[in-house]
Structure 1
Amino acid sequence: MTNRRDFLRNTSFAALATVPLLGRASSVFSPYKALPAFGIQLWTVKEDMTANAKDTLKQLSLDGYNQIEGFEGGKGIFWGWKNTEFKKYMDDLGMKFISSHCEITKDFEAKAAQAAEIGMKYLICPWKGPQKSIDDFKKFADDFNRCGEICKKNGIRFAYHNHDYSFKTLDGQVPQEVMMRNTDKNLVDFEMDIYWVVAAGEDPKAWFAKHPGRFKLCHVKDLGKTAKGHESVHLGKGTIDFKSILKSGTANGLQYYIVEQEAFTGTNPLESARIDAEYMKKVSL
């Protein structure tokens, strides 16, 4: 019969043996979790896409990107393919074509119908530029509402992507605020380019908190300070605290995290995309 001393010794050894297992198991219940998915704006690799779209998309999928955001270049949103052909290739790669920047003043209804047909979520206005009057931004808000109506009719959403100009006071008002206040939240969302918000001297977290549920997409692009001011750098090499910003955004309705790189010091665009993907894999909320 096992005596009390043997029993205590054996159970002590057993308890010690479980310590590493408990440590590993506890990570399952960590309050932090990895991003469920992340994408890339194809502008980052536009030259590669022009040269060989299929190989470029395949490499992005191998790097870990599982979502794509497009733009309307010389070959159109679908790079010369039919929308259904483009989706088929995305499916083959295990990727989703979430959204695309596009020209909203030309054939927008047709673009919305094509996007909806292949299950895209958003069409996005990428640029309006600095204006002379705040009334111009009020007009843009009206235009966005109309685009939002068209998108809603097709079962998708419309959004506007910011640069720094929309945060610069004009006629005593902030254009970004004017556009957000004058657009219908049931029709129009916003894509926060975090880089440009920071470049404008604004706090992304404050904007997320002030307008919960309005920023559904974001561009994850780091800002490095240079002698000339600032430039886009590899994620984690700049000044932006993405951990706290993305956590704040997610708590306020952010759903899509899209990498964009615009400067490639010492690397080519595809290599920069790979480096940024490795960073995104380590992001936790």
Structure 2
Amino acid sequence: MISERKGTLSVQLYTFRDAYAADPDGTLERLAGLGFRYVEPFAVGSAGQPGIEHLKRAQALKRSLDAAGLKSPSAHIGAPIGEHAEAVLDALETLGIHRGVISWPGEVPGFERDVMSTLPGTQRFAEALNTAAANMARRGLQLGFHNHWWEWATLEHGGSAYATLLELLDPAVFMELDVYWAQTAGQDPQRLLTTLGQRAQLLHLKDGPAVPDQPQVQLGQGRVDNLAAIRAAPWIDWHILEMDSTDGDVFAEVAASAGTLIREGVSAW
């Protein structure tokens, strides 16, 4: 049954990383002009930045968001563990972000992309995420994990890395399901969302050939049925648009995708 409940639109700022690097304030103002009220920043408290920079960058971003009239319910973050844990948490609180998402293993100190290619690596990674989640919980914040396509590698015990990670993680760690990358991995996004249930709290939506490292397109012009995925998970409040790359104008492509979701009655500003 299709729910009449609508998700709220947001957009991952990584989509506009080139424009944002050149003109952060202008980029945010342009997104607000398209109709967005919410954005999902990236690299907040990133493991690749000096700890002393976390709060300074968060304060600057907060000023820019406020000036554009935008808010950030979620962000891609560096894991709050180790010597810079408190600085990362301070940055999140400064921005008013309650849900921090690990976008790939490199945002967890000591880990790289291929960590989930083995069972021991997946176990160590889950332990680190659980530590980060506990640190966030002390401040009333939630930790999530965002997938790409490589997490469905088959491990030594015969299960997928993604399923194994889910079993090992504290149930409080939620999933930001990237519908596009899940299908690229050979998964059925609708079935996966049914399996995840309430564990899935955010959706990343994009379209294209469902092939790694290929340009993406506006929703409805590729191989991924994002509408079916949305309708399979009516409990999810946030519909977050993203494009890793495109041959078109990225602002126009994202605006068209937002318009599609609004016209279909599944999302709202």
1:25 paired residue number: none
Which one of the candidate residues 204, 216, 224 is aligned to 1:240?
224
2:199 paired residue number: 214
Contact 1:222 1:240 in 2 (8 A): yes
* SS at structure 2 position matched to 1:257: strand
Which one of the candidate residues 260, 264, 274 is aligned to 2:246?
264
Task: Work out whether 1:95 is the aligned partner of 2:70.
Answer: yes
1:184 paired residue number: 170
CA RMSD of aligned residues (A): 2.8
2:151 paired residue number: 166
Length-normalised TM-score, structure 2:
0.82
- Counting matched residue pairs gives 250
Which aligned segments of 4 or more residues in structure 1 are displaced greater than 4 angstroms?
Answer: 73-82, 228-231
1:255 paired residue number: 237
* SS at structure 2 position matched to 1:113: helix
CA distance in 2, matches of 1:95, 1:79: 20
* SS at structure 2 position matched to 1:211: helix
Which one of the candidate residues 66, 91, 96 is aligned to 1:114?
91
Residues 59 and 280 (structure 1), Cα distance of their counterparts in 2 relative to 1, 3 Å cut: farther
Tell me by how many angstroms 1:89 deviates: 3.6
1:133 paired residue number: 118
Q: Give the unaligned 5+ runs of structure 1.
A: 1-29
Which one of the candidate residues 55, 60, 69 is aligned to 2:26?
55
What percentage of residue pairs aligned between the two structures are identical?
Answer: 22
CA distance in 2, matches of 1:164, 1:263: 16
1:282 paired residue number: 263
Deviation per CA, 1:42-93: give whole Å up to 9, x if none.
1110010011000100110111222111111788999996534533442343
Structure with greater Cα Rg: 1
Q: Give the unaligned 5+ runs of structure 2.
A: 106-112
CA distance in 2, matches of 1:53, 1:138: 38
Length-normalised TM-score, structure 1:
0.78
Tell me by how many angstroms 1:280 deviates: 3.1
Deviation per CA, 1:6-47: give whole Å up to 9, x if none.
xxxxxxxxxxxxxxxxxxxxxxxx963543x21111111001
Contact 2:215 2:246 in 1 (8 A): no
Opposite residue 169 of structure 2, the aligned amino acid is T
Which structure has the highest strand share of the two?
A: 1
2:110 paired residue number: none
CA distance in 1, matches of 2:249, 2:56: 26
